[in-house]
Amino acid sequence: MTTTYLDHAATTPVRPDAFDAMVPWLRERYGNPSGSHALARAARKAIDEARDVVAECLGRMPREIVFTSGGTEADNLAVTGVVGQRRGAVVCSAVEHHAVLHAVEALGGRTVGVDPGGRLDLDELVEALDDEVCLVSVMLANNEVGTIQPVGEVVRLAREHAPGAVVHSDVVQAISWLDVADLAAEVDLLALSAHKFGGPQGVGALAVREGITLTPLLRGGGQERERRSGTQNVAGIVGMAAALRATVRERALTVARVTRLRDRLADGLTSTVAGCTESGDRSNKVAGSCSLLLADIETEALLVLMDQAGVCATAGSSCASGAMEPSHVLRAMGVSPELALGSLRLSLGWTTSEADVDRALEVIPALVGRLRDRSPLAVRP
């Protein structure tokens, strides 16, 4: 059975460029970049060059890039690192990834709501801002519904109403689709994760605007200019840079191609499956995002059947045990808990083909029909 992979928002296949770039650093080029001998210097050179690539793609200076173990660490370093230095209130959107949301909640922060399309309520943001606020965190693109947030506006409002605040943006889901260097040019901190754009899992970065000091999460050997101790993941960092370079190089073409595929998939499903609607406003979403709501369907069951048919997708976020959790994003958008049980996230990416969309359009309507036929509770459309 062939695999139809429609879960790129969870993770993406590793790009050949990234894989090839990593291999030497997992074999013969095994030096520790903190050392002084030839093997060490070679590793140091590799991460320095990778830092140049990441900085250029984000429109930052190389010394502003801190390599981390992934997006979650980058988000946590941003939130707790700023609060550790500045004290004060923390504000984030209600639809942040848990890596931001739980870090903000742990510090007693406030959340700002979104409209039914998933876009940040800027009036509510202004109300939440004052001189006490030390950090504002708003993601550029949402991981569940793909909504793009007006982070440029967020920066402008923060400078005006909370002049002491640092602005952070989680751009993990955005980087494959949007010109982050341009859209987030004024943002102080940017978090990204390699495996969302064809790099390996377990590596990410935080861009930290020059002049902003963060309290480190990890202390030790003082790597990454005292901002993130621990021997760098050399192969991972090299792979991330190669993947990012390829992503940015191909981005315009990929966006155009995947937008057409996504539109065909979303239109096909909403037109053939009764009670199927799109969550969020498609005109304000990243290209890879096709998030749907299916009336009278428990996605948890649908995903088992899709899995058996070789179609990989997800509902929303998962908890530690692997069970589906009700989505805080859909709740914030005002979707009823009953309807949220039927949330299906199909996410497309750089490898998605016409054949993948064909297969999804063949399998999903049939399986939804099967589940509705077998459910004694379903209201037949």
Residues that bind another protein (CB under 8 A): 298, 300-301, 304-305, 307, 319-325, 370-371, 374-376
Task: For another protein, give the closer residue by CB, 130 or 298.
Answer: 298
Check residue 195 and report its DSSP letter: G
Q: How far is the CB of 337 from another protein (least distance, A)?
A: 8
Measured from the CB atom, the residue of 181 and 301 that comes closer to another protein is 301
d(CA 197, CA 14): 8
Q: Detail the DSSP E strand segments found in 145-200.
A: 166-170, 189-193
**Residue 59 φ/ψ region, left for φ over 0, alpha for ψ in the -120 to 50 degree band, beta for the rest:** left
Beta strands in the chain (DSSP E): 4-5, 65-68, 89-93, 110-112, 133-137, 166-170, 189-193, 204-208, 276-278, 289-294, 311-312, 343-347
How many angstroms separate the CA atoms of 162 and 227, rounded? 25
Tell me how far apart the alpha carbons of residues 98 and 105 are, in angstroms, rounded to a whole number: 10
Residue 6 has phi, psi (to 5 degrees) of: -125, 50
Angle at 58 between CA 53 and CA 59, to 5 degrees: 95
256/304 with CB nearer another protein: 304
- The distance of closest approach from Cβ of residue 327 to another protein in the complex, given in angstroms and rounded to an integer, is 12
For residue 1, the minimal CB distance to another protein (Å) is 13
Q: How far is CA 67 from the centre of its chain?
A: 17
Shortest Å distance, C-beta 377 to another protein: 8
Please classify residue 179 by burial: count the beta carbons closer than 10 Å to its beta carbon, then call 0-12 exposed, 13-18 middle and 19+ buried: middle
Residue 1 or 320 with smaller CB distance to another protein = 320
Q: Which is nearer to another protein, 318 or 353 (CB)?
A: 318
Q: What residue type is assigned to position 285 of the chain?
A: K
DSSP 21: H
Taking the complex as a whole, the smallest distance from the CB of residue 310 to another protein amounts, in Å, to 13
**Tokens (6 digits) for 89:** 């209130």
Q: Give the burial class of 52: count Cβ atoms within 10 A of its Cβ; 0-12 exposed, 13-18 middle, 19 or more buried.
A: middle
Q: What is the dihedral of CA 8, 9, 14, 16, to 10 degrees?
A: 60
Minimum CB distance to another protein smaller for 123 or for 300: 300
Nearer CB in complex with another protein: 46/101? 101
Please identify every residue annotated as catalytic.
319
Shortest separation between residue 97's beta carbon and another protein, angstroms: 20
Please list, residue by residue across 258-282, b when 16 or more beta carbons sit within 10 angstroms of its beta carbon and e when fewer do: bbebbebbbebbbeebebbebbbbb
C-beta of 318: minimal distance to another protein in Å? 9
Residue with smaller CB distance to another protein, 337 or 381:
337
Minimum distance between the CB of residue 373 and another protein, rounded to whole angstroms? 9
User: What's the full length of the chain, in residues?
Assistant: 381
- Alpha-carbon distance of 379 to 93, in angstroms, equals 35
Structure tokens at 258: 């995947």
